[in-house]
Amino acid sequence: MMPLSFYNTASRRKEVFTLPKGDNTVKMYACGPTVYHFAHIGNLRTYLFEDLLHRTLKYYGYGLNHVVNITDVGHLTSDQDEGEDKMEKGAARTGKTVWEVAAFYTQAFMEDWKRLNIQEPTTWSRATDFIPEQIKLVQILEEKGFTYRTSDGIYFDSLKFPRYADFAKLDIENLRKGSRIDMGEKHAATDFALWKFSPKDTKRAMEWDSPWGVGFPGWHVECSAMAMKLLGETIDIHCGGTDHIRVHHTNEIAQSECATGKPFARFWMHGEFLRMGTSGGKMSKSTGEFLTLSLLMEKGFNPLDYRLFALTSHYRNYLNFTWEALESAKESLKSLHKKTDPLIGKATAIISAEALQWQAEFKEAIGDDLNIPRALGILNSVLKTDIPEGEKATLVLDFDSVFGLKLNEEREDIAPKSDVSVEEIEVLIHARTAARASKNWKESDRIRDELSARGIEIKDGPNGTTWSYK
Ligand code: AMP
Ligand code: ZN
């Protein structure tokens, strides 16, 4: 059997994955969502890849400490530390407070995870819950001489980290030459904000005291600070989408390794992008041109149709989204169910040498840098063999612990719980908040009743209104 191996972005090759001696728990950190808007199905593709990684590590018998962060502060609209805070922009767009925006989209995000049958991480870490840790990290970098101050913040001095360009294989000369004009007070284009001061003329909704003045942390700092606090100074696997390689992960490495003097992550794994249509357009949250899981459901798809669609391509390849391709994933899942539904409840504890052989092939496929498309092929082959039904049932259950397609439930059992889309819930809750503000209790009750009749319960709390399925 080939050993478990993953493609490591840091070395640009496949490497055997093992843990340091005496350790059996993988410390894994995945960059999570910025909760100023719904997650689009591209974001969800990345979380699905990370879910396959999570499930594969468990299949290989590892314990797992999996942290996913929720970015609820500091992610600016431009990677150059300029522009607005995405959260504050989200608040302006929806007329809510930043805290309400964060609470609402965090909940919507978690709902998508459940619908897609993505395993819960060990810890969800919210950036705003780790402000002291972020300040501490900046202090360490300051003491070690890696920072400087400008009129708008404290910056990381990337010239002091000679390996800065290595991870993303950046053409540093050209990069630094090319962007001299829009650098502001930064010493080099690759320098980045660790702490930003609140603008003098406007009061930010989210700001904290710090040794440098009132402000908020830069986006990159949160991941380093939380990963180190929750998992340790050197973690085993760090993952995210490929867009994070050039800036976000490069910066995480620079600040973490300068602070500790140790490697930050042993393996870096990145999921390739989902693109729109056969022409491969960009799906972007910031321009508002994106598809959500709820929209797919409104059009009659089961979230697991999308899960299977994502599983059919390797995580390191681009995947083009088309409605036709999703339709064909839906048909494939239906036909898979036709074969697996009759096997439900028939699994046997002991399986033959032939079944064990199929199991070994499956394990080898997923262990070969998560070759899920090959593993799906193995499942289809198993279903075509004439091994006894009970053994087939055992293999289906076993393989599905990685696929996560809920093949042990009849497809009819996994219909959406309500006909109201998450987008519609948002509009209705917003309208109700406005009705309450103008003391229009009749209208606010009407909205509550409408939601209730359609299977949605709402609760008013200190951070705004939350909802759940009844
Ligand atoms: P964000 O909420 O923008 O910080 O992104 C959340 C995650 O989704 C990150 O890991 C991104 O790298 C990833 N991501 C963003 N756009 C896409 C896309 N079109 N396809 C796949 N992953 C994406
Ligand atoms: Zn991150």
- What would the mean pLDDT of 351-355 be, rounded to a whole number? 94
Distance CA 96, CA 36 (A): 11
CATH 2.60.120.200, domain 5-271, yes or no: no
* Average pLDDT across the chain, whole number: 90
Instruction: Report CA(402)–ligand 1 centroid distance (Å).
Output: 22
Nearest CA to ligand 1 atom 5: 33
For residue 5, give the DSSP letter.
E
- Domain range annotation of the chain: 5-271, 275-403, 422-469
- Of 3.30.465.10, 3.40.50.300, 1.10.730.10, 3.30.1220.10, the CATH number of 275-403 is 1.10.730.10
Distance CA 143, CA 160 (A): 14
Distance CA 50, CA 175 (A): 31
Q: Tens digits of per-residue pLDDT, 183-234?
A: 788 999 899 999 999 888 777 778 899 999 999 999 899 999 999 999 999 9
227 closest CA partner among 218, 236, 214 = 236
pLDDT at 415 over 60: no
**Parallel, antiparallel, or unpaired: how do β-strands 123-126 and 147-149 relate?**
unpaired
User: Is residue 315 classed as helix, strand or coil in its secondary structure?
Assistant: coil
226 closest CA partner among 136, 102, 109 = 136
- Residue with the larger pLDDT of the pair 71 and 272: 272
The torsion angle over the Cα atoms of residues 463, 87, 296 and 374, rounded to 10 degrees, is: -110
pTM assigned to the model: 0.88
User: Which residue in the block uniquely carries the two structure tokens 């909940």?
Assistant: 107
Tokens of 248: 């976000």
pLDDT band at residue 81 using 50, 70 and 90 as cut-offs = low
Q: Tens digits of per-residue pLDDT, 116-131?
A: 999 999 999 999 999 9
Closest ligand 1 atom to residue 71 Cα is 4
194 closest CA partner among 248, 137, 249, 265 = 137
Element (H, E) at 467: strand 464-469
Instruction: Report CA(299)–ligand 2 centroid distance (Å).
Output: 32
User: Is the Cβ–Cβ distance between 94 and 101 less than 8 Å?
Assistant: yes
Give the C-alpha distances (Å, rounded to integers) separating 129 from 69, 133, 189, 228, 259: 10, 9, 30, 14, 21
Task: Give, for ligand 1, the residue of 243, 269, 320 to mutate: max count of ligand atoms closer than 8 Å to Cβ.
Answer: 243
Q: Tens digits of per-residue pLDDT, 25-34?
A: 999 999 999 8
Distance CA 305, CA 28 (A): 27
User: Is the Cβ–Cβ distance between 148 and 187 less than 8 Å?
Assistant: yes
- What would the mean pLDDT of 173-180 be, rounded to a whole number? 68
Per-residue pLDDT, 136: 98
Per-residue pLDDT, 411: 74
Instruction: Report CA(228)–ligand 1 centroid distance (Å).
Output: 22
End-to-end Cα spacing for the chain: 47
pLDDT at 79 over 70: no
Q: Tens digits of per-residue pLDDT, 256-281?
A: 999 999 999 999 999 999 998 766 67
- Residue with the larger pLDDT of the pair 366 and 282: 366
Task: Give, for ligand 1, the residue of 43, 76, 89, 282 to mutate: max count of ligand atoms closer than 8 Å to Cβ.
Answer: 43
User: Is the Cβ–Cβ distance between 149 and 438 less than 8 Å?
Assistant: no
| Cβ-based burial of 408 (10 A; exposed 0-12, middle 13-18, buried ≥19) | middle
Cβ within 8 Å of residue 133, ≥6 positions away = 225, 226, 228, 229
CB atoms within 10 A of CB 283: 19
Amino acid at 152: D
Nearest CA to ligand 1 atom 9: 241
pLDDT-wise least confident of 19-28, 49-58, 91-100, 241-250 = 91-100
Per-residue pLDDT, 418: 67
Per-residue pLDDT, 279: 67
Instruction: Report CA(43)–ligand 2 centroid distance (Å).
Output: 13
- What would the mean pLDDT of 93-112 be, rounded to a whole number? 87
